Amino acid sequence: MMKFTKWIVASAAVALIPLAAVALEPFRHTITGDVLDIETAPKEGRDVEAVKKFLETGVNPFNEMKECLPRGEYIYLSSCSGCHGHVAEGKVGPGLNDNYWTYPKNKTDKGLFETIFGGGQGMMGPHNDLQLNELLLVMAWIRHVYTGPVETAKWLTPEQKKNFTPYKLPEGSDHGTIDQAKVAPDALCGPMAK
């Protein structure tokens, strides 16, 4: 018997994966949906690695940069706590430390940025007076004081969820790593306006 060798030419369909990164959708106002112009933010604090990364990816690198958290707290206490409470437990403004969000997009860093930068309803005005690094530092602080269930923390990766422990006010302390804000490194966290 003759053996026939069949050559099967498998034409492998090579899926061409585009090399260029998919551009981030523009930032939009939480209520109106209008495109937000981030050029209206102060010039200072833009030239920080974490800010540039965020503008490319929509993910806030400060969430992972513990050294910068005291600055986040400092800005939070001067710009937000009067309405949202000292540890974001809620006051005239809603709590920001639980898993209920009026605007579910705030579960993503991009959505949270849009709400803070552009503002919401009524008393929640735009915060485009803050430097972009300051805004991202505040956001990292808000993520840090989260006390809700880890499963619903959409901003955390599966790896980050494993390591996350809900925030507890440090014992014997008012809420305060605030003094350390001054010693946090500018090169990493970006400059502070005040």
User: Could you tell me the smallest distance in angstroms from the CB atom of residue 67 to ligand HEC?
Assistant: 20
User: Could you tell me the smallest distance in angstroms from the CB atom of residue 112 to ligand HEC?
Assistant: 6
The label of the residue with tokens 């498998």 reads 10
Select the residue interacting with ligand HEC from 32, 40, 57, 102 (CB under 6 A). 102
Helix (H) or strand (E) holding 135: helix 132-144
Query: What does the alpha-carbon distance between residue 190 and residue 126 come to, in Å, rounded to a whole number?
Result: 21
Q: Which stretch binds ligand HEC (CB under 6 A): 6-14, 52-60, 65-73, 110-118?
A: 110-118
Query: Considering only residues 68-87, where is the footprint of ligand HEC by CB under 6 A?
Result: 79-80, 82-84
Residues counted in the chain: 194
User: Could you tell me the smallest distance in angstroms from the CB atom of residue 176 to ligand HEC?
Assistant: 18
User: Could you tell me the smallest distance in angstroms from the CB atom of residue 167 to ligand HEC?
Assistant: 16
Annotated binding-site residue? 80: yes
Query: Considering only residues 118-177, where is the footprint of ligand HEC by CB under 6 A?
Result: 120-124, 127, 138
User: Could you tell me the smallest distance in angstroms from the CB atom of residue 34 to ligand HEC?
Assistant: 15
Annotated binding-site residue? 189: no
Query: Considering only residues 11-50, where is the footprint of ligand HEC by CB under 6 A?
Result: none
Render 64-124 in DSSP notation, one character per residue.
G-GGGHHHHHHHHHHHTHHHH-TTS--SSSPPSSSS--SSGGGGSHHHHHHHHHH--STT-
Contact of 136 with 46, CB cutoff 8 Å = no
The label of the residue with tokens 């990164």 reads 21
Q: In Å, what is the CA distance from 72 to each residue of 67, 142, 177, 181?
A: 10, 8, 10, 8
Binding-site residues from annotation for heme c:
80, 83-84
Residues that bind ligand HEC (CB under 6 A): 79-80, 82-84, 92-94, 96, 101-103, 106, 112, 115-116, 120-124, 127, 138
